[in-house]
Amino acid sequence: MNKPLSKLRAAKLELYRQQGKIHARAVAGRFNSLRRALVWLTQIVFYGACWLNWESNGSMRQAILFDIAHEKLYLFGLVLWPQDALLLALALIVAATALFLATALAGRVFCGFLCPQTVYTAIFVWIEARVEGDHLARLKLDRRPPGPGKFVRKAVKHGIWAAVAIWTAITFVGYFTPIRELLAGFGEWRVGPWEAFWLLFYAAFTYVQAGLAREAVCQHMCPYSRFQGVMFDPATANVAYDRRRGEPRNARRQGAGGDCIDCGLCVEVCPTGIDIRDGLQYPCINCGLCIDACDAVMDRTGAPRGLIRFASANELAGVPAPRGVAGRPRVAVYAGLLLAGVLLGGWLLAERTLLRVDVLRDRGALSRETADGRIENAYTLQLMNLDDVVRHYRVAVSGLPGLEIVGGREFAVEPGSIRPVAVTVSAPAGAPPGGIRPIVFDISAEHAPASGVREPSSFVLP
């Protein structure tokens, strides 16, 4: 039987486990350091990338911009159009598959380290701790009756939260409307209705999700927590308590106990307020903070670290790890899909041309004979310029002896637009016997004649 907790420890744990808001105890350790590093990294990228500029054809523009009005996505030197939807869809599939693979290997590790909900909750809790104090001070402040001191602390905290939420919303909208224009628009009270809507919505969303709801989102609202279990297999590593090593808890002094001294620190540091010793639970976000807490306890008691650690169900049960692809079919499938998606995306990107052409034959008149005996066919060429500057294209035709274009053969096309052009092709008098002959249109850009487009078509001879 477990020895009862000391009164002081029991009271602390009880205070911590009070229903209502969770105030997790701060903890130092390698997983906490990793979480902090990732918060810094992701936020430096998010808040900073919208300020980067990119020089394109002699003018500067925002380097990363989702220009919905003009149906363009700028990613530094790359400009994607609606015609590139396949690439974007592939990028989403690759991201989802990478998430599935990470989940199959290490459970809900994305939730613990990279999910925006976790990252912003960590930022908002950090602000709360600076203003209100450590976890016990925050608990006591919450239970204190209203008064001027409490009001001032709460007001300062909510004010800073609101400022962070507003700046986060401005940054978010700044990826859709150039951020410098957006800020200039504030000064002149010139913000469009959509921008105003998204600014208000995103600021409120950030404030509520990260400041008020925080871990409740992971516990009750996140759909991913409900179905991620289907990606697990017995070799998936999750944060787990080694029951065989830890139990019976709090009985070391009798010489017959396990390594767990029932200090409750793993519960106090948990941002979702669970006791990992109760086994794998869906609110666990695999953040590893309970590992940090327990490792520090193990160091103090002289026991080896890892009573709580990333461990698979197999490992905890003493079952050998499966070998090879056949032992972990889910991991093999996700890794294969990920590799295929990355390779396909790379190939599509490498093969992507900034000129696309469709050739349509004039269905009204198959062919006509001119006064000097030549045979003419009429076509419409749809020239699509996917570059972000005006381009000039030259059209040539081949496939029959003496075949030539009558009239205009050079055309300018505005950036990101489709220009239909009428082209007449002529074959000399005395051409081969009648029928439908294959021909080819060659369309090349003036600035890069070597990278042209070949489009097959046909020429009708009477």
Minimal distance, residue 3 CB to ligand SF4, in Å: 13
Chain centre distance of CA 211? 22
Kindly tell me which of 54 and 282 has the beta carbon lying closer to ligand SF4: 282
CA nearest 210: which of 330, 334, 340, 120?
120
If you search the block for the tokens 């767990």, which residue do you land on? 260
List residues binding ligand SF4 (CB under 6 A). Answer: 239, 241, 246, 260-266, 269-272, 274, 276-277, 284-290, 293-294, 297, 307-308
Nearer to ligand SF4 (CB atom), residue 281 or residue 370: 281
Q: How far is the CB of 5 from ligand SF4 (least distance, A)?
A: 10
Q: How far is the CB of 6 from ligand SF4 (least distance, A)?
A: 13
Residue closer to ligand SF4 (CB basis): 265 or 445? 265
Nearest residue (CB) to ligand SF4, 113 versus 459:
113
Cα 14 from Cα 321, distance rounded (Å): 39
Helices 116-132 & 148-173 angle (0-180, nearest 10): 150
Nearest distance from residue 312's CB to ligand SF4, in Å? 15
Beta carbon nearer to ligand SF4, 57 or 301: 301
Which residue's CB is nearer to ligand SF4, number 307 or number 359?
A: 307
Cβ-defined contacts of 68-77 (< 8 Å, 24+): 68/176, 70/416, 71/416, 72/388, 72/416
CA distances from 118 to 27, 136, 211, 352, 389 (A): 16, 22, 11, 37, 42
Q: How far is the CB of 31 from ligand SF4 (least distance, A)?
A: 8
- Closest approach of ligand SF4 to the CB of residue 24, in Å: 8
User: Whose Cβ is closer to ligand SF4: residue 274's or residue 403's?
Assistant: 274
Smallest distance from ligand SF4 to CB 119, Å:
14
Q: Which is nearer to ligand SF4, 223 or 320 (CB)?
A: 223
Smaller CB distance to ligand SF4: residue 268 or 388? 268
Q: Which residue from 214, 208, 296, 262 is spatially nearest to 27, judged by alpha carbons?
A: 296
Minimum distance from CB of 288 to ligand SF4 (Å)? 5
User: Quick one: three-class SS letters along the chain?
Assistant: CCCCCCHHHHHHHHHHCCCCCCCCCCCCCHHHHHHHHHHHHHHHHHHHHCCCEEEECCEEEECEEEECCCCEEEECCEEECHHHHHHHHHHHHHHHHHHHHHHHHHCCHHHHHCCHHHHHHHHHHHHHHHHHCCHHHHHHHHHCCCCHHHHHHHHHHHHHHHHHHHHHHHHHHCCCCCHHHHHHHHHCCCCCHHHHHHHHHHHHHHHHHHHHHCHHHHHHHCHHHHHHHHHCCCCCCEEEECHHHHCCCCCHHHCCCCCCCCCCHHHHCCCCCCCHHHCCCCCCCCCCHHHHHHHHHHHHHCCCCCCEEEECHHHHHCCCCCCHHHHCHHHHHHHHHHHHHHHHHHHHHHHCCCEEEEEEECCCCCCEECCCCCEEEEEEEEEEECCCCCEEEEEEEECCCCCEEECCCEEEECCCEEEEEEEEEEECCCCCCCEEEEEEEEEEECCEEEEEEEEEEEEEEC
CB of 123 to ligand SF4, least distance (A): 17
Q: How far is the CB of 97 from ligand SF4 (least distance, A)?
A: 24
236 vs 377, which CB is nearer to ligand SF4? 236
Compute the least distance from the CB of residue 96 to ligand SF4, in Å.
23
Q: How far is the CB of 110 from ligand SF4 (least distance, A)?
A: 13
Q: Closer to ligand SF4 by CB, 308 or 395: give it.
A: 308
Which of residues 280 and 331 has its CB atom nearest to ligand SF4 in the complex? 280
